[in-house]
Structure 1
């Protein structure tokens, strides 16, 4: 059924900012836009709580061998990845092929680890109306910078880092522009747990309006 999106009153909002993983390594442009956006929200009466949320540090070990993404990608792509590898981008193919090293037992363990992790994170963020974080920690790199394969992998992992938290949570997110006019694009990501899409978008509409007024 269609979602009903009505702007909420931000003075009633209580958001949480995880202190583990998602704020590390912000470049100066993202950091400045992020901090300005938080100041704007606080000025509207938004209550913001910083939460350690150490569970987010577990994701590196859970996904150390490629995780559920590699396993599921391999199930879908193994035929063509083996018969037509030249049709794939090399970086993408490398990630898909990691799934070939996992078996059914590995997959079952990964799904169980995820279910346990998801339950603990959901419980930790349940008291809040949403989770705030920068969408990505860097502004868009130049194409020249990405010609170096090692740098490409580094940037790729950083750009996926924060959004992958919500993917693992099976949650919902929206990225709202929070940069100043003329500056490189920066996104403020508002997220919530599974099934809370309508409420999330209602809060996001209010945030978007407020950020536009401050620019």
Structure 2
């Protein structure tokens, strides 16, 4: 793994390197073949200008490279959200709230990252701007065999690749159903989805106003804590409990269904490692998870709220949308008002039942995704591959989206060996358990990487 932000900041402050030298290395990574299709736009001047500022090394982010998902407003730039239908929009008049907080903390903005069009898929493909290949950030190597690239996960695809390859230290993204945690898992990095209310969404193009969460990917948990502190404008207290002081749960139903062999091996190995290190892990039923599919049978929040935002644009330019994204948005066109209201009420009651079931537990452990990322060729744009794409998309988002429905928080930690495809362990709980999840993740991280 390449050095994380905190280690690089320490090196700068110690005088062993300089922000400008680090900026050049990040730009070289961003322009390498490993980052092909990862960026919509590179902004080397902005990064270098920040790196040259006096005293920038004393800021929390020390002038170091941060990538911004093409969902967020950056003053003077056009926000396309991975589409072509918005390419002629006027440039943003101001930074979005999250971008402004990062900039104020000393972030050097290296560029806008590619993404699934309008953030509506967990696979990471984009027919307009290309699909970046997954990179294993934990072991700093391409994912899969040479010449057979794997999907990066989505929707924050370019953001994940930018962090995994070393082009950026923090990848700002969003998570509506797993769009931070899924690409983090498939690229061997850390992705933290905070409780949605903790970070403002102002200046981010919406998918679901109910579920959208602004958050980030990093290479380490300590960087994830730093990024969250900047984005949420709050401090995360230092954890003081040993691993044995946490009570953890594992759920068989839903979360472990249809796991492939690689995920099964990595997940079981991780649980065994944690138990051997003193973790108390109980298996619980949490049958409430089986209520999710019936609850979402009329379409769910993202199609309904997404269609409301896109309706006029679709009427004018439907043929310029990614057909797969358009198909999912159009599910929202048929949802009736009473069905939406019923869904809001059903979700509220479901959250209450799940929170009661998790009383006494500090976190739940699950595979972030039940499958590893397939090769891009299996799900690339094209009607003949749509069935496989939608099958894979459903599996990749299944576990993570449950946490979004819960209004919860969760972090994906890499737990695979060097000779395995990337696998993530998701540590999660209900709303406002963010500090506990981050503190626990700090303890788990080194244990999961003992290979």
Provide the TM-score with structure 2 as the length reference. Answer: 0.46
Correspondence for 2:254 among 21, 30, 34: 21
Correspondence for 2:431 among 175, 178, 194: 194
Given that 1:5 and 1:201 are in contact with CA atoms closer than 8 Å, whether structure 2 keeps it comes out as: no
Query: Equivalent residue of 1:195, what SS?
Result: coil
Report the counterpart of residue 59 of structure 1 in structure 2. Answer: 292
Given that 2:262 and 2:421 are in contact with CA atoms closer than 8 Å, whether structure 1 keeps it comes out as: yes
Distance in 2, matches of 1:120 and 1:176, equals: 27
Distance in 2, matches of 1:79 and 1:7, equals: 52
How do residues 112-123 of structure 1 correspond to structure 2 at under 5 angstroms? 112-123=345-356
Report the counterpart of residue 35 of structure 1 in structure 2. Answer: 268
Report the counterpart of residue 80 of structure 1 in structure 2. Answer: 313
Matched, 1:167 2:400: no
Deviates more, 1:79-88 or 1:134-143: 79-88
Report the counterpart of residue 99 of structure 1 in structure 2. Answer: 332
Matched, 1:177 2:414: yes
TM-superposed CA distance for 1:85, in Å, is 1.2
Which protein shows a greater Rg? 2
Given that 1:7 and 1:203 are in contact with CA atoms closer than 8 Å, whether structure 2 keeps it comes out as: no
Q: Quick one: higher RCO (CA 8 Å, sep 6+), 1 or 2?
A: 1
TM-superposed CA distance for 1:181, in Å, is 1.8
Given that 1:55 and 1:121 are in contact with CA atoms closer than 8 Å, whether structure 2 keeps it comes out as: yes
Distance in 2, matches of 1:5 and 1:88, equals: 46
TM-superposed CA distance for 1:68, in Å, is 1.6
Distance in 2, matches of 1:7 and 1:207, equals: 14
TM-superposed CA distance for 1:86, in Å, is 2.4
Provide the TM-score with structure 1 as the length reference. Answer: 0.96
Distance in 1, matches of 2:270 and 2:375, equals: 25
Distance in 1, matches of 2:445 and 2:315, equals: 46
Report the counterpart of residue 379 of structure 2 in structure 1. Answer: 146
Q: Deviations over 1:36-63 (max 9, x none)?
A: 0000100011111111111111111111
Q: 1:8 to 1:92 in 2, by over 3 A?
A: farther
Distance in 2, matches of 1:52 and 1:36, equals: 21
Given that 2:254 and 2:289 are in contact with CA atoms closer than 8 Å, whether structure 1 keeps it comes out as: yes
Given that 2:249 and 2:283 are in contact with CA atoms closer than 8 Å, whether structure 1 keeps it comes out as: yes
The structure richer in helix per residue is 1
Q: Deviations over 1:114-160 (max 9, x none)?
A: 01111101110121010110000111101121141101100000000
Q: Deviations over 1:45-96 (max 9, x none)?
A: 1111111111111111111121122111112111112221123211111111
How many residue pairs align between the two structures? 214
Given that 1:170 and 1:194 are in contact with CA atoms closer than 8 Å, whether structure 2 keeps it comes out as: yes
Distance in 2, matches of 1:85 and 1:174, equals: 35
Distance in 2, matches of 1:75 and 1:2, equals: 36
Q: 1:7 to 1:83 in 2, by over 3 A?
A: farther
Q: 1:36 to 1:194 in 2, by over 3 A?
A: same
TM-superposed CA distance for 1:7, in Å, is 6.3
Q: 1:210 to 1:55 in 2, by over 3 A?
A: same
Query: Equivalent residue of 1:150, what SS?
Result: helix
